[in-house]
Amino acid sequence: MNRKSTVLLGAFLLALPALAGEAVTVTQKGLRFSESALTVDKGQAISFMNDDTTAHNITVSGEGVSINGGLQAPGASTRIPFSKPGVYAVSCGIHPKMKMTVTVK
């Protein structure tokens, strides 16, 4: 639970089921998420791909969970697991107008 890239996700990973579905990819391009709303299965992860020429910072909040994916360079991908059912607001800490909703069922 102390893996370098997932320190901030520790609370989530503790609850992560052993069997998780394949990750879904959401792209950030033109300062927008490729999806405004997305539903994933419990335990599934989303890989947020930065296809912009500027850095992003994925943030996730909801269901008592708050995740900061850290500074994300252009071309980088940030994988966020969603282990708890509910509705989550996803945004960018640098560009607050970037918003999407993730529903975990």
Confirm or reject binding of residue 104 to Cu ion (CB under 5 A): no
Q: Which residue of 95, 99, 101, 103 would you call a contact of Cu ion, by CB under 5 A?
A: 95
d(CA 56, CA 53): 9
Nearest residue to Cu ion by CB is 92
Cα–Cα distance, 68 to 18 (Å, whole number): 23
Q: Applying CB under 5 A, what is the total number of residues that bind Cu ion?
A: 4
- Helix H or strand E encompassing 48: strand 45-50
Strand, coil or helix: 38: strand
List the x/- string, 33-62, binding to Cu ion by CB under 5 A: -----------------------x------
- The site for Cu ion (CB under 5 A) is made up of 56, 92, 94-95
